[in-house]
Amino acid sequence: MKEKLDKLLRLKKEKDAVILAHYYVPDEVQDIADYVGDSYYLSEIATKVEAQTIVLCGVEFMGESAKILNPDKKVLLPAANADCPMAHMAAVEKIEEIRKEYEDVAVVCYVNSTAELKMNADVCVTSSNAAKIVKQLPNKHIFFIPDENLGSYVAAQVPEKHVILNDGYCHVHSNVRREDILKAKKARPNAQVLVHPECKEEVVALADYAGSTSGIIGYATESEAQEFIIGTEMGVFHELKKRNPGKSFYVAGSLQICPNMKKITVDKVISALETEQPEVILSEEVRNRAYAPLNRMLELAGQ
């Protein structure tokens, strides 16, 4: 490993590169990253780093967002086939239909979406700021794409809006079942239940806290409780345990693993730096049109 780390450091310097990683990638990839965080943090930090090359350890939509926000930088995605299925679960035709049906509609696009969907949206959101941003929009009608569960969560948080849902879902989070939580709670009655809002409404209803991966980590770290049942991808256990060595964390049901996030390996990061491939390439038209909703998210989230 020492040899690999030396090579990585040498390549980073040579290519003027910075490594960003999501909490769901394997532990050893999180350990070599310069910055680790949730989707919002990764979008924001991508606009602040000075290095010319960004190695995005995450799935395709994260690499695309980094590129859209930094058109002059080289963005590398170590596993070209690391794609999020939910990112494709909405249709441009449906957006057009809804725009015809409701004159005053804002199309709110979860960042877990393709660049093509972002291009057709009015604003992007992540799980950490979706409710806050929707609340600030002047529009009464909101078409929330692609995640139905996050859309329902937002609708409950912002009851003054009419939220139109789309039927996309994350297969990792929607697999966490209500019965799993009830069973885990029975086995650990003192544990707090922390879940991601990509989980089903009936699961979120049982939680002591629902929030983004950073939100879950922050809540567990500040809480007086000593035991937690976690309803999100298991990559977060790495940071949870690092920050809270004395506390215990349990998986809500069966193993919650995102196979696409796990495609990123240290070897692939080294190879990406060495070959400068796979690179995220987007046409100028896509970049320009997708920039506005992403940038609007950064502006509204900061208010």
Residues that bind ligand 13P (CB under 6 A): 38-40, 84, 112, 126-128, 170, 198, 212-213
Q: Measured from the CB atom, is 49 or 125 closer to ligand 13P?
A: 125
Site string (248-267) toward ligand SF4, x via CB under 6 A: ----------x-xx------
Does 89 interact with ligand SF4 (rule: CB under 6 A)? Answer: no
With both helix axes pointing from N to C terminus, report the angle between 284-301 and 39-46 in degrees, rounded to the nearest 10: 110
Cα–Cα distance list, 127 to 41, 65, 226, 257 (Å): 11, 15, 25, 18
Q: Measured from the CB atom, is 170 or 290 closer to ligand 13P?
A: 170
Among 38, 122, 233, 239, binds ligand SF4 (CB under 6 A): 233
Does 84 interact with ligand SF4 (rule: CB under 6 A)? Answer: yes
Q: Measured from the CB atom, is 62 or 164 closer to ligand 13P?
A: 62
Report the nearest approach of ligand 13P to the CB of residue 118 (Å).
15
Interacting partner of 38 out of ligand SF4, ligand 13P, none (Cβ under 5 to 8 A depending on kind): ligand 13P
Does 192 interact with ligand SF4 (rule: CB under 6 A)? Answer: no
Report the nearest approach of ligand SF4 to the CB of residue 230 (Å).
13
Residues of span 96-115 touching ligand SF4 by CB under 6 A: 112
Both tokens of residue 36? 């680790």
Interacting partner of 228 out of ligand SF4, ligand 13P, none (Cβ under 5 to 8 A depending on kind): none
Among 170, 195, 217, 269, binds ligand SF4 (CB under 6 A): 170
Report the nearest approach of ligand SF4 to the CB of residue 281 (Å).
21
Residues that bind ligand SF4 (CB under 6 A): 24, 59, 84-86, 112, 170-172, 233, 258, 260-261
